[in-house]
Amino acid sequence: MGASERVGTKQNNMPELPEVETIKNVLKPIVIGNIITKIDVLRETTILGNKDKFVQSLIGKAFTDVTRYGKYLFFHLSNNLVIISHLRMEGKYYQLEENEPNTYFSRVVFHLNNGFKVCYDDSRCFGILKLSTEDEYKKEPEIIKLGQEPFYINDVEYLLNHSKGSNVPIKTTITDQTLIAGIGNIYADEILFDTKIHPLTPCRLITKQQWIDIIYSARKILKEAIRLGGSTIKSYHPGKNIDGKFQSNIKAYGRYGDVCPNCGTAFRFIKAGGRGTTFCPNCQQKQGRPLKVALIGKVAAGKSTVLDVFKSYGADIFICDNYISDLYETKEIAEKIAKLFSLDFKDKVDKKLLRQYLIQNPKDIKKLQSFVYPIVSEKVSSFFKHSKAKFAVCEAPLLFEAGMEEMFDEIIAVDIDEKVQLERLLERNPDTAKFLKQLSDKNNSFEKNKKKANIIISNNASQSELIEETKSVINGFLSRLD
Which residues are known catalytic residues? Answer: 15-16, 71, 275
Q: What backbone torsions phi and psi does residue 386 show, to the nearest 5 degrees?
A: -100, 0
**The sheet that has 116-121: what strands, in order across it?**
5-8, 92-97, 116-121, 106-112, 36-41
Alpha-carbon distance of 81 to 336, in angstroms, equals 65
Decide if 197 contacts 165 (C-beta within 8 A). Answer: no
Residue 38, classified by CB atoms within 10 Å of its CB into exposed (0-12), middle (13-18) or buried (19+), is: middle
CA 326, distance to chain mean position in Å, is 34
| Nearest CA among 340, 385, 332, 391 for reference residue 361 | 340
Say if residue 290 is preceded by a cis peptide, omega within 30 of 0: yes
Which amino acid is present at 198?
H
Alpha-carbon distance of 261 to 231, in angstroms, equals 19
Decide if 233 contacts 255 (C-beta within 8 A). Answer: no
Alpha-carbon distance of 61 to 138, in angstroms, equals 20
The full length of the chain comes to 482
| Cα distance between the two ends of the chain | 58
Alpha-carbon distance of 407 to 379, in angstroms, equals 12
Q: With the C-alpha atoms ordered 102, 103, 105, 107, is the resulting torsion angle positive or negative? A: negative
Alpha-carbon distance of 446 to 451, in angstroms, equals 9
Separation in Å, CA 263 to CA 58, 255, 280, 412: 56, 14, 9, 18
| Nearest CA among 48, 79, 43, 74 for reference residue 61 | 79
